[in-house]
Amino acid sequence: MRVIIAAAGTGGHINPGIAIANKIKQEENNSEILFIGTTEGLENDLVPRAGFDLKPIEAYGFNRKITIRNIKRIIKTLRSKKDAKKILQEFKPDIVIGTGGYICMPVFLAAISLKIHTALHESNAFPGASVKALSGKVDEIFVGFEDAKKRLPKAKKVVVTGTPTKVEKMELSMEQKESIKSQAGLKEDLPVVLAFGGSQGARSINEALMDIIRNHKNEKYQLIWAAGQSQYDIIKEKLEDDGLSIQNLKNAKIVPYIYNMGEILNMCDLVVARSGAMTITELAKVGKPGIFIPLPYATENHQEYNARVLADVGAGKIILDKDLNESILSKEIDDIISNPEKLKKMGEIAKQIEVKNVEGKIYEEIKKIVG
């Protein structure tokens, strides 16, 4: 099988594309797979690191404000259809797969004009602008959540496959949990709240967590908190101004980034985070409850729709960013973490939302499309 995958920008778009590519290679080792991305996005690191070739075109993300810069970006992105078409004609793919985002528009318009089979994957519960715009033109759309189906009325075919992720459910013994805690610099005898806001951190979440630490509200639990590469030093300075050392906090471990996220997710008791599609998918996979603070500037408010996938069934709580402060967050954490039965029940409900055999389902659908 010859496959082109359009994936660019963030890990939320690129990692599902890589997971799909890995599954195709696993099933058909002689497959040829090429990624199309941009010259500036995270794909330039992640795709070659995963062992796949990447061809760049000039495409840009843009917001909905009418500005000269945005108009220029839209024109350049649409013009890049010509470059995408040239790549497709040279590679001659059996199918073009996109994982959402601005890169999909020029690549898929080119593929459709050449009558090449097409499929999109949408991770979010509320589909993005490119997926919605292309929904009536592509052969099939794979979605991460059941909720997304009703928001794609023009689509020819929509299949709930789930979203591919590297995180796996781990059945950890007490000894294994204690070992992970020890390696992370945590105590063995307190519940663990994992907090993060994406690779760059989330300022509003970080501010609320700092106030919890300053006011000693984390007496009954301990925090492991990925503050984000760009915000770690800022937090360190702010805590030092309050006479606190970031390396010696009571019941709290702050790091720029967590590299063994799979282990930490499986070990922790509760998660406080933004509600990107990957976060929701991973919590469902490992069966953990969450307190979600959706990114307020996300397109179509899609992070709130993602969070509601778990919150509406009782596996999570939502605090809107405009309402977030130390008092509200502390109350929600205490309400869940101090009630072992509630904690367990919420985790069990989260696990029920998991879509199993994600990569296998996507691969089978791709085979059907290609014929």
* Residue ranges of domains in the chain: 2-163+356-370, 174-353
What phi, psi does 321 have (nearest 5°)?
A: -55, -35
Query: What confidence score (pLDDT) does residue 298 get?
Result: 77
Residues contacting residue 36 through CB under 8 Å, at least 6 positions apart: 4, 5, 6, 7, 8, 54, 55, 56, 57, 84, 87, 103, 107
CB 5, CB 20: distance < 8 Å = yes
Is the fold of 2-163+356-370 the same as that of 174-353?
yes
Distance CA 195, CA 290 (A): 10
Query: What confidence score (pLDDT) does residue 60 get?
Result: 60
pLDDT by residue for the chain (371 residues), tens digit each?
999 999 998 778 898 999 999 999 999 999 999 999 998 888 998 899 999 999 999 876 555 566 666 566 666 666 779 999 999 999 999 999 999 888 999 999 999 999 999 999 999 988 988 899 999 999 999 999 988 999 999 999 999 999 998 889 999 999 999 999 999 999 999 999 999 986 566 889 999 999 999 999 999 999 999 998 788 999 999 999 999 999 999 999 999 988 899 999 999 999 999 999 999 999 999 999 999 999 998 777 889 999 999 999 999 999 999 999 999 999 999 999 999 999 999 999 999 999 999 999 999 999 999 98
Q: Which of the following CATH numbers is that of domain 2-163+356-370: 3.40.50.2000, 3.40.640.10, 3.40.50.10260, 2.60.40.1220? A: 3.40.50.2000
Distance CA 101, CA 331 (A): 36
For the CA atoms of the chain, what is the radius of gyration? 21
Q: Which helix (H) or strand (E) holds 366?
A: helix 358-370
pTM of the model: 0.82
Longest dimension (CA), the chain: 66
What's 174-353's CATH class?
A: alpha beta
